[in-house]
Amino acid sequence: MKTHLVAVDIGGSKMSFLAREAESGLDVYADKIKTPADDGVEAILAVLDEQIDAIPGGRRAMSALGLAVPGPVDSRGKVLRAGNLEGWVDVPLKALLEKRYGVPVFVERDSNCGALGEKWCGAATRMGTFVFLALGTGVGAGLFLDGQLYRGAHFASGEAGELTFFCGGTRKNLSAIVGKNAIRKRVSRATGKKLNAAEALARAVSKRRFARATQPVIEQLTAAVVAIGALLDPQAIIFGGGTSDAGAALLSRVRREVRAYLETPPPLMPAKLRSDAQLYGALWGAIHASRTTVERALAGATAPA
Compute the C-alpha angle 264/200/8, nearest 5°: 80
The answer to whether 4-109+289-302 and 123-271 have equal CATH topology is yes
Q: Name the residue among 33, 55, 42 with its Cα closest to residue 100.
A: 42
266 DSSP assignment: P
Q: What pLDDT was estimated at residue 270?
A: 96
- pLDDT tens for residues 119-132? 999 999 999 999 99
pLDDT band for position 86 (cuts 50, 70, 90): very high
pLDDT grade, residue 291 (50/70/90)? confident
Which residues are CB-contacts of 24 (< 8 A; sequence separation ≥ 6)?
Answer: 2
Architecture of the CATH domain 123-271: 2-Layer Sandwich (3.30)
Q: Confirm if 112 and 149 have CB atoms less than 8 A apart.
A: yes
Amino acid at 284: W
Average pLDDT over residues 209-225: 92
pLDDT in tens, 131-163: 999 998 889 999 999 999 999 999 999 999 999
CATH architecture of structural domain 4-109+289-302: 2-Layer Sandwich (3.30)
| Closest alpha carbon to 104 in 67, 69, 53 | 67
Cα–Cα nearest to 68, from 44, 101, 99: 44
DSSP 3-state of 134? strand
Confidence class for position 296, pLDDT limits 50, 70, 90 = low
- pLDDT tens for each residue of 49-63: 999 999 999 999 999
What is the C-alpha separation between 159 and 299, in angstroms, rounded?
38
Residue 170: its pLDDT value, please?
82
Q: Which residue type occupies 148?
A: Q
Predicted local confidence at residue 300, as pLDDT: 52
Q: pTM to 2 decimals? A: 0.92
In angstroms, the CA 250 to CA 58 distance is 41
Residue ranges covered by each domain of the chain = 4-109+289-302, 123-271
